[in-house]
Structure 1
Amino acid sequence: MQIIIYDDSQEVAIAAATWVQSLIKEKENPVLGLATGSTPIRLYQELVTMHKAGNCSFTNVTSFNLDEYHSINESDPQSYRSFMKANLFDHVDINQDNTFLPTCNQDQNPREQGLSYEKKIKQAGGIDLQILGIGANGHIGFNEPTSSLTSRTRIKTLTQQTLTDNSRLFSENELQPAMAMTMGIATIMDARYVLLMATGKNKAQAVKDMITGAVSANCPASILQMHENAVILIDKEAASMLNDQSYYQWADKQNRKLNDEFGFYHNF
């Protein structure tokens, strides 16, 4: 697990965008795993800026989103399809036929939909780079605490904390879904690289549990300790509860020296 601490959330977004740009430039048909929520919005803004400047084309990109609310119409403004269109898809040259979300309407069997989504990911060759955020309770995707560490794409009931955290995004007359389809933890772990972004003091405890706590289903993100290529990008506020910040900063400096001497290596 590589921990990189930045001054603020904008620096985190720029660093994450550079990773995505590197993947797109280095691989002929890259497969991106994408996330929703407030944290990735600045990342998508950076990618749109790169694209408009001619520095990043999404023509050959295939994408798979982590999750989608259950029984929500894709055209609904609260759907994650709408979120991705508003923040990224409609502003770059990606073929939207190659963008996938784990959708499941009220007439579909969630188990069959989950298996179908897993099959699509395998047919695409697997995910090269999975973007993640982290919930205040340590969830990744909608894999809430106590989720199986070997889980695959399936339907999950959201915790009250997650519903409360997300309620700010819904108006009083809007129905807030209590269930969602989500990639499983094992699905996320299959990605060749995982890039987790966390910003703000409200994520500090979850970041600490993820990095220094026991690997446990009580903090689903802690499984990333077991990933060969997990990169954690956090700002100072999100890092505020870590005891070994000086070491992480020292290690990052040494890695930068290696990159300067031998080049920035990816195994996409």
Structure 2
Amino acid sequence: MRIIHAKNYDDMSRKAANIISAQVILKPDSVLGLATGTTPIGAYQQLIAWHQKGDVSFAEVSTYNLDEYRGLKHDEPQSYHYFMNEQFFSSIDIKPAHTHVPDGSNPDAEAACAEYDRLVEAAGYPDLQLLGIGNNGHIGFNEPDSVFSKGTHCVDLTESTIEANSRLFNSPDEVPRQAYTMGVQTIMQARSILVIASGSNKAQAVFDMCKGPVTPACPASILQLHPHAIVVADEDALSLF
């Protein structure tokens, strides 16, 4: 696992965007696995700026997002489908048909997850998977558990994750209690993985991911076993190293 030190959030975002843009420039039809949340926004903004300057095109790229809240339709402002359009897709030249997010509006969890697994497998899995990391070490919505998850599945969100994500809702009570998420095994199929982290509240999770035992109690720790995993984190997130 390669660790890249960044000075702060802006530096982390630029360094992450550099890695993503290099992937797309070298392989214009790249399959990208993407993440939501506040951490990747800076990287998306940097990629948008470079696209608008003509430095990078996403016209041939296809994307597969990690997760979606169960019970939210695509056009609901708190959905991850809506988030990706607002924060990234609507400002670049990617084809809408080439963007994919689990269908949170499908109440049949088994069918929704099986269909998303089929789509990701048919795409050949991501060339580059972007990940954030939760305060409890989760990746996607794969929460701490006794085993590592496999394919896309429906997960009950922990209270810490609900609280962390409540900033995007009017109150924690409005946060859905379940989500559809790519499994750890699916994430590990990506040819390269980029994890980004910022802030002292992520310090313990980043340390456990990189230096702790490989255990489903910290789902991100399995990335130690990936042959091409890069962590870009700022000084606060790396403060325990």
| Residue matched to 1:99 | 99
* 1:92-132 superposed Cα distances (whole Å, 9 cap, x missing partner): 0000111001113254x211221211111121122100000
Are residues 147 and 189 of structure 1, via their aligned partners in 2, closer, same or farther at CA, if it must alter by over 3 Å?
farther
User: What stretches of structure 1 of length at least 5 have no aligned partner?
Assistant: 243-268
Pair 58,238 (structure 1): closer, same or farther in 2 beyond 3 Å: same
Name 2:6's counterpart in structure 1: 6
For the structure 1 residues 147 and 178, does the alpha-carbon distance in structure 2 shift closer, same or farther, using more than 3 Å as the test?
Answer: farther
Cα gap change, 1:100/1:239 in structure 2, threshold over 3 Å: closer, same or farther? same
**In 2, distance between residues paired with 1:143 and 1:137?**
10
Alignment correspondent of 2:81? 81
Larger Rg: 1
1:116 maps to 115
Q: Tell me the distance in 2 between the aligned counterparts of 1:209 and 1:68.
A: 26
Q: Match for 2:195: what amino acid?
A: L
| Residue identity opposite 2:109 in structure 1 | P
**Counterparts of 2:172 and 2:111 in 1: how far apart (Å)?**
32
CA deviation profile, 1:55-104 (whole Å, cap 9, x unmatched): 01110000000000001011000000110011100000000111001113
Residues 76, 82 of structure 1: 8 Å contact kept: yes
Change (3 A) 1:172 1:238: closer
- 8 Å CA contact 2:143, 2:157 repeated in 1: yes
Report the TM-score, using the length of structure 1 for normalisation.
Answer: 0.87
Range 132-141 or range 146-155, more displaced: 146-155
Residue 162 of structure 1 is matched in structure 2 by 161
Q: Does the aligned pair in 1 maintain the 2:162–2:172 contact within 8 Å? A: no
Q: Is the 8 A contact 1:148 1:185 kept in 2?
A: no
Give 3-state SS (helix, strand or coil) of 2:179's partner: strand
Q: Which runs of at least 4 in structure 1 moved beyond 4 Å after TM superposition?
A: none
Alignment of 1:182-221 (within 5 A): 182-221=181-220
CA distance in 2, matches of 1:209, 1:16: 21
Alpha-carbon offset, residue 176 of structure 1: 1.5
Q: SS of the counterpart of 2:147?
A: coil
Q: Structure 2, unaligned stretches of length 5 or more? A: none
Distance, in Å, in 1 between the alignment partners of 2:168 and 2:92 is 25
State the aligned residue count. Answer: 241
Within a 5 Å distance, the mapping from 1:13-162 to structure 2 comes to 13-107=13-107, 109-146=108-145, 148-162=147-161
Give the whole-Å Cα distance in 2 for the aligned partners of 1:123 and 1:73: 24
Shift of 1:148: 3.2
Q: Distance in 2 between matches of 1:147 and 1:185?
A: 13
Residue 147 of structure 1 deviates from its aligned partner by 6.1
Please tell me the residue identity of whatever aligns with 1:79. S
Deviations 1:128-187 (A, max 9, x none): 000000000000000000063242101100001101111122114972201000000001
Amino-acid identity (%): 43
RMSD value, Cα: 1.3
Q: 1:25 to 1:170 in 2, by over 3 A?
A: same
Q: 1:145 and 1:26, CA in 2 relative to 1: closer, same or farther beyond 3 A?
A: same
Offset, 1:6: 1.1
Question: Is contact 1:71–1:106 with CA below 8 Å preserved after alignment?
Answer: yes
What letter corresponds to residue 190 of structure 2 in structure 1?
A
> What TM-score, normalized by structure 2, do the two folds share?
0.97
